[in-house]
Amino acid sequence: MRSRLTADDIEKAGAALACRALELPEIAGAATVAAYVSMGSEPGTHALREALRARGVRVLLPVLLDDDDLDWGEDEGPERLAPARRGLLEPEGPRLGPEAVTRADVVLLPGLAVDRRGMRLGRGGGSYDRVLARLVGAGAGPALVVLLYDGEVLDEVPEEGHDRPVHAAVTPSGLHRFTPRPR
């Protein structure tokens, strides 16, 4: 489905996604949100990041390390993003360390789908699996929210032992909450 989307489709969905995401109380009340810069046909994050920054929210963006783990930097706007490996855009400012994500109130996650249990299907690189494990190891409890298109909330997705459920999914037309089961 994503391969058929035009740039206009992605931009419109991103604007709707931003409106929906800002309705989520966890995001509306957050002081720090770990987000990401969408790429390709992923649901657009630009409008949401701009709205968060306009509200005075500190927005952290990932920096891909050589071992595919993630460091973090502060989002200072689109003019302060630089091209990086794998076609990513990363913040130009100082690196805050991989543990910076443990201080976020909300972590926005990319994904391809989520199921009714809150299990997220990622892209297979493992970077966000490491982030989720880091959060558990630190005893951090941010709201975990995956950003998707309509139609990507499914009955079931494959699950592996290291996978962690998310608390919510935001799509252009709605909010979906999950009750993560204990692990």
Element containing residue 15 per DSSP (H, E): helix 7-23
49 known member of a binding site = no
121 known member of a binding site = yes
Helix, strand, coil fractions of the chain, as percent rounded to 5:
30, 25, 45
37 known member of a binding site = yes
139 known member of a binding site = no
97 known member of a binding site = no
125 known member of a binding site = yes
73 known member of a binding site = no
Annotated binding site for substrate: 37, 42
Where is the binding site, in residues? 37, 42, 120-128
Residues flagged as binding site for ATP: 120-128
